[in-house]
Structure 1
Amino acid sequence: MSHQLIIYTDGSSRGNPGPGGYGIVMQWGEQTKEFSQGFRFTTNNRMELMGVIVALESLTKKNIPLTIYTDSQYIVNSVEKRWLDGWIKTDFKGGKKNKDLWLRYYKLSRDFKIKFVWVKGHANNAMNNRCDILATTAADGKGLIEDVGYIPGS
Structure 2
Amino acid sequence: MIEVNVDGASAGNPGPSGAGIMIKNNGLVEKHSIPLGMMDNHEAEFTACRMALEFCLEKQADIVWLRSDSQAVVHAIEKEFVRNSQYKPLLEEILGLTKQMNLFFVKWVPSKENKAADELARKAIHLN
TM over 0.5: yes
1:6 aligns to what? 3
- Seq. identity, %: 26
2:77 aligns to what? 79
- Once residues 32 and 20 of structure 2 are traced to their aligned partners in structure 1, the CA distance between those partners, rounded to angstroms, is 6
Q: Secondary structure at the match of 1:21?
A: strand
1:108 aligns to what? 97
- Once residues 83 and 52 of structure 1 are traced to their aligned partners in structure 2, the CA distance between those partners, rounded to angstroms, is 14
Matched, 1:57 2:46: no
Q: Which residue identity does 2:109 align to in structure 1?
A: V
- Once residues 120 and 26 of structure 1 are traced to their aligned partners in structure 2, the CA distance between those partners, rounded to angstroms, is 18
Q: Which residue identity does 2:17 align to in structure 1?
A: G
How many pairs align? 125
RMSD of equivalent CA atoms: 1.6
Q: Quote the offset at 1:9 in angstroms.
A: 0.2
Which of 16, 23, 28 is the matching residue for 2:13? 16
Q: Secondary structure at the match of 2:49?
A: helix
Q: Quote the offset at 1:39 in angstroms.
A: 2.5
Which structure: greater helix fraction? 2
| Residues 58-93 of structure 1: CA deviation (Å, up to 9, x unaligned) | 22315x12110100000111122x142xx6xxxx7x
| Residues 4-25 of structure 1: CA deviation (Å, up to 9, x unaligned) | 2100000001111111101000
Q: TM-score, normalised to structure 1's length?
A: 0.74
Which of these two proteins has the greater Rg computed from alpha carbons? 1
2:123 aligns to what? 137
Q: Secondary structure at the match of 1:12?
A: strand
2:108 aligns to what? 118
1:151 aligns to what? none
Moved over 3 A (4+): none
Unpaired runs of 5+ residues, structure 1, are 145-154
Unpaired runs of 5+ residues, structure 2, are none
Which structure: greater strand fraction? 2
- Once residues 39 and 26 of structure 1 are traced to their aligned partners in structure 2, the CA distance between those partners, rounded to angstroms, is 19
1:150 aligns to what? none
Which of 85, 100, 116 is the matching residue for 1:96? 85
